[in-house]
Amino acid sequence: MDIAVLIKQVPDTYSERKLREQDWTLDRDAADAVLDEIDSRGVETALQLTEAKGGEVTVVTMGPDRATETLRKALAMGAHKAVHVLDDGLAGSDALQTSAALAAAIRTLSVDLVIAGNESTDGRTGSVPSMLAERLGLPQVTSVRTLEIDGTTLRAERVHDGGYSEVTASLPAVVSVIEKINEPRYPNFKGIMAAKKKPVSTLGIGDLGLDPSTTGLANAASQVLDGAARPPRTAGEKVADDGSGGTKVAEFLAAARLI
Ligand SMILES: Cc1cc2nc3c(=O)[nH]c(=O)nc-3n(C[C@H](O)[C@H](O)[C@H](O)COP(=O)(O)OP(=O)(O)OC[C@H]3O[C@@H](n4cnc5c(N)ncnc54)[C@H](O)[C@@H]3O)c2cc1C
């Protein structure tokens, strides 16, 4: 079975994230960039399936030039090839536009399954996998913690607030995984060296047959009009415990309506 995995390059969680004041898009150069943790689980899921059933893993990302590093990381984990959706005309895309470009890229592949993360750690709309499934006309199962493939049927445990449901669907399909699904492997030296030779194809707006008047920040359906940085953390209130510490903490929590 051949699998496509959507992976996103995001600012490192431990770096400071900044929005650019001129257009409120993320200042991606201001922070270290990493493979989104949730997507490393998507890659691991695909590798485990193809190791068990045969087939190839293609990782797909839409992002600026430096997103190649993130593709190489996934190739070093063991993915077979990569597709980089790369075009200046796509900068500042919202989730709708991102799903359109990724759907066009997936259509250039012949895959049985598309795996994504349930929510990225920067935009966090959690909407791209569903939009993609709609655009491709495929069944989707989101937020899965287990995934099995039996012939042309997938079985998954889908997590929700009330617990989980057992869901089945026919392939080809789109699934999104949660963090608990597995522990991703770390690339070893052999994998890192092999990744340098693995094929990465690049697709732009023209290659994808997208209409340039519908792509990028200027044509996005949602616009950020204004924003503000989160206020810096204050030191907080210190309570000297002269035996009344517990009461003071309870009063503080009650005042903050936390209890
Ligand atoms: C702070 C911030 C706020 C934003 N708010 C909005 C908003 O309110 N509305 C809006 O439409 N857009 C918003 N965006 C833009 C949006 O983040 C991007 O369009 C993004 O590419 C897709 O949305 P997401 O990250 O929320 O995806 P999610 O749906 O949260 O991502 C889920 C999964 O989809 C896949 N995926 C997502 N993006 C890519 C990609 N570029 N390449 C490959 N796979 C991908 C990954 O597997 C990922 O784990 C925001 C961006 C930022 C940084």
Say if 92 falls within a structural domain.
yes
Both tokens assigned to 190: 């052999």
CB atoms under 10 Å from CB of 228, counted, come to: 6
pLDDT tens sequence across 143-193 = 999 999 999 999 999 999 999 999 999 999 999 999 999 999 999 999 999
Domain membership flag for residue 259: no
Is 185 inside any structural domain? yes
Residue 167 lies in a domain: yes
Specify the DSSP class assigned to residue 218: G
Question: Which tokens sit at 121?
Answer: 């750690």
Distance CA 242, CA 112 (A): 66
* Residue 135 falls inside a structural domain: yes
Distance 67 CA to ligand 1 centre (A): 14
Burial bucket for residue 162 (CB in 10 Å: 0-12, 13-18, 19+): exposed
Q: For residue 10, what are the β-bridge partners?
A: 34
Does the residue 179 lie in any domain?
A: yes
Domain-located, residue 234: no
66 CA distance to ligand 1 middle (Å)? 17
> Any alpha helices (H) in the chain, and if so which ranges?
37-53, 68-77, 95-107, 128-136, 189-195, 205-208, 245-255
Render pLDDT for 97-137 as a digit per residue (tens, 0 to 9).
999 999 999 999 999 999 999 999 999 999 999 999 999 99
Tell me whether residue 207 is in a domain. Answer: yes
pLDDT value, residue 194: 97
Instruction: Indicate the number of domains in the chain.
Output: 1
Residue the block writes with tokens 């893993």: 57
CATH number at residue 125: 3.40.50.620
Give the domain range for residue 24: 3-219
Closest approach atom of ligand 1 to CA 97: 19
Which residue, by CA, sits nearest to atom 43 of ligand 1? 61
CA distance 221 to 224: 10
What's the distance, CA 244 to chain centroid? 47
Cα 259 to averaged position of ligand 1 atoms, centre (Å): 35
The structure's pTM equals 0.91
Choice between 219 and 233, residue whose per-residue pLDDT is larger = 219
pLDDT of 32-74, one tens digit each?
Answer: 899 999 999 999 999 999 999 999 999 999 999 999 999 999 9
